[in-house]
Amino acid sequence: MSFDLVLFGGTGDLTWRKLMPALFQAFRHGKLPEGGRILAVARDERSDDAYRAFIRERFEDVDESKRPNAEEFARFAELLHYRRMDLSQPADYAGLRGWLDARQADTVVLFLATSPHLFPVICAQLGAAGLNDERTRVVLEKPLGHDLASAQQINRVVASVFSEAQALRIDHYLGKPAVQNLSALRFGNALFEPLWRRESIANIQITLAEAIGVGTRGDFYDRTGALRDMVQNHALQLLTMIAMEPPPTSDADALRDEKLKVLKSLKPFTPESVGRDVVRGQYRAGTVEGKPVPGYLDEAKVQADSRCETFVALRTEVQNWRWAGVPFYLRTGKRLAGREAHIVVNFREVPHPIFPGANRANKLVIKLQPEDGLELHLMAAKGSGPGELLAPVSLDLDFDKAFPSDRVGGYERLLLDAIAGRLNLFVRSDEQEQAWRWVEPVLDAWARDPSGPRPYTAGSWGPAAASALIARDGCAWAEEQ
C-alpha cells in the first residue's frame, strides 16, 4: 500500500520532536509500509536536501537509542520531501494537489501539526482544492479548541470538508502501550471483569504527574492551564478506558460509543461542587530531582500575575449501575515530585478479616510512565508457624521484559494507524465535545472565583488541599498509602 504523509508545520516542534522520531522508529523496525513519501510543509523556502539536513541535525536531541546512524538516516531521508506553502493561499494548495496527484498513492494522510487556530483555514482550503477524496484522511493534534463553543466551531468546519471517518483526532495517551494493555487486561481476560464494579472496587485514582515545568511553552500554557492541557483529554480518555462497558466488537465505533457513554455519565459539576471537589494549584520555586527550579510566575512568557493552574486534582463519579458511588480521583500537574503516570484501582477490604494484624486491601496499579507495567498487590502469609502475620506482596509485570522486541511508542502507533485507516485510537468529535461540556463548569467557576490557584512547592505532590480532598473519603493518594 503506497501512502503520502503530509506534515503541515513541517519545521515545528511537534514534527521534529515527536513525529520524525516516531516515523524513523517505524521505518527502522520495518513497520512503515513500502512506497511511502513524507512531505513536510512550512512557510520558508528550502530544498529537500536542506530539509533532510535540518531533520538530521534535530535528531541529535533525540534519545540515543532512537537516533539513526548515518546509513540508516540516508535510507530514511529518501522518504523525506519538502514544500513551501503559504497556508492562506489557494494556489499553494493547488500546487500540493498537483504534487500528490502526480503519483496517486493509495492513501493520503494530512497531519496538521500546526497551531490549532489554523485548522479551520487549512481544512477549508483543503476542501476548496479537492484534497478530501475518499483516500484522504486528516489528522488533528490537540488542543482542539479552548472550550465547547470553539471545539464545536472547529468540528463544524472539519465536518464540512471531511467525513467523521476521515477526521482523526489525536490524543497521544491513547497510543501509549499501557493504554493498549488496559483494553487487553479488561477485555482479553475473564479474570478482572467480574470484579470491575462497585461491589469490589472502593475507588480509582488516575495520576499524570510531570517533573518538567512549562519550559519554552509559557505563552501557550498560560492561555491553557492543566485542566485544558491534560484533564479534558488525556485524563478523561484514561477514565473512559477504565470505566467503559465491554464493547460488542473491537470496531472503532463500538469502542467509541462506549467511551462516550462514560463521558455522558460523569457527575456534572455545579458551582458548589467545583469549590468542594476540584483543587487547582500553581507551582512556586522549589527543587525537582535535585535541582533548584523557578516558580511558575518566573517562567519565560508567563504573565507576572497569572492565575493559570499548573495542577488539578478532582473527585468525580460515573453515574451508572456499575460505578454508582465509587469515587474517581484525577490528578495532574507540572513540577511535581517525579514523572509518573499511573492508574490505581483500589479494591475493597475483605468483608470479614480472620487474620491478626494489618489487612490491606488489594490494589491493581497500571503504570504508564516512566515504564509501563502492571502491579497486583496482594496479601500473603509471611513466614510459617502459628499466628503468622500477613504482609503485602506484589505481582509485577514489566511489559518491556515480557515483549522485548515488540514495543511501539505512542506516536509511532498512531501514525501507523492513521496510514492504515485504523480509527480505534482516535477521538471522535462527540467524545471530544462531551469532554468539553463536562469541564466547562469548572472553567466558569474558576473564572468567577477571586481566590485563584493554591501555591505548591515545585518537587512536591501539589497543594495540601489535594490530599485533603481524598482524605475526606477516608482514602489517600498512592504515594501516601
What are 351's three cell numbers? 468483608
Min dist CB 228 to ligand BG6, Å, is 9
- Would you give the binding string for ligand BG6 spanning residues 36-75, x where CB under 6 A is met? ----------------------------------------
Q: Give the CA distances from residue 110 to residues 77, 107, 124, 135, 165, in Å, rounded to whole numbers and listed in that order.
A: 19, 10, 13, 11, 14
Kindly tell me which of 141 and 277 has the beta carbon lying closer to ligand BG6: 141
Kindly tell me which of 68 and 218 has the beta carbon lying closer to ligand BG6: 218
Kindly tell me which of 172 and 335 has the beta carbon lying closer to ligand BG6: 172
- Would you give the binding string for ligand BG6 spanning residues 120-159, x where CB under 6 A is met? ----------------------------------------
- The number of residues in the chain equals 481
Min dist CB 339 to ligand BG6, Å, is 7
User: What angle, 0 to 180 degrees and rounded to 10, lies between the N-to-C axes of helices 90-101 and 119-128?
Assistant: 60
Min dist CB 231 to ligand BG6, Å, is 11
Residue 76: Cβ within 10 Å count: 21
Min dist CB 13 to ligand BG6, Å, is 11
Instruction: Report the C-alpha dihedral over residues 210, 406, 61, 370, rounded to 10 degrees.
Output: 20
Binds ligand BG6 (CB under 6 A): choice among 229, 372, 412, 417: 229
| Strands 201-209 and 327-333, sheet pairing | parallel
- Would you give the binding string for ligand BG6 spanning residues 174-213, x where CB under 6 A is met? ------------------------------------x---
User: Using an 8 Å Cβ cutoff, are 212 and 230 in contact?
Assistant: no
Kindly tell me which of 256 and 335 has the beta carbon lying closer to ligand BG6: 335
Read off the amino acid at residue 96. L
Which residue has the CB atom at the shortest distance from ligand BG6?
Answer: 229
Min dist CB 34 to ligand BG6, Å, is 29
Q: Which residues contact 222 (CB under 8 A, 6 or more apart)?
A: 214, 301, 302, 303, 306, 308
Min dist CB 362 to ligand BG6, Å, is 27
CA 333 to chain centre: 14
Q: Considering only CA atoms, which of 237, 257, 238, 239 is closest in space to residue 247?
A: 257
One-character DSSP codes across 186-243: HHS-SSSGGGSSTTTEEEEEEEEE-S---TT-HHHHHHHHHIIIIIIIIIHHHHHHHH
Q: Please tell me which residue in 81, 146, 172, 234 is annotated as part of the active site.
A: 234
For Cα atoms 44, 48, 53, give the angle at the middle one, nearest 5 degrees: 90
Distance of alpha carbon 363 from alpha carbon 205, whole angstroms: 11
Distance of alpha carbon 463 from alpha carbon 313, whole angstroms: 9
117 is catalytic: no
Distance of alpha carbon 3 from alpha carbon 33, whole angstroms: 8
Min dist CB 12 to ligand BG6, Å, is 14
Min dist CB 172 to ligand BG6, Å, is 6
| Strands 454-457 and 278-284, sheet pairing | parallel
Residues 250 to 269 in contact with ligand BG6, rule: CB under 6 A: none
User: What angle, 0 to 180 degrees and rounded to 10, lies between the N-to-C axes of helices 429-448 and 252-265?
Assistant: 20
Kindly tell me which of 259 and 335 has the beta carbon lying closer to ligand BG6: 335
| Strands 311-317 and 291-293, sheet pairing | unpaired
Number of chain positions touching ligand BG6 (CB under 6 A): 4
Min dist CB 371 to ligand BG6, Å, is 13
Residues 155 to 174 in contact with ligand BG6, rule: CB under 6 A: 172
For position 309 contacting ligand BG6 by CB under 6 A, the verdict is no
What are 314's three cell numbers? 478532582
Kindly tell me which of 132 and 237 has the beta carbon lying closer to ligand BG6: 237
Catalytic residue numbers? 234
- Please report, as ranges, the residues that interact with ligand BG6 according to CB under 6 A: 172, 210, 229, 369
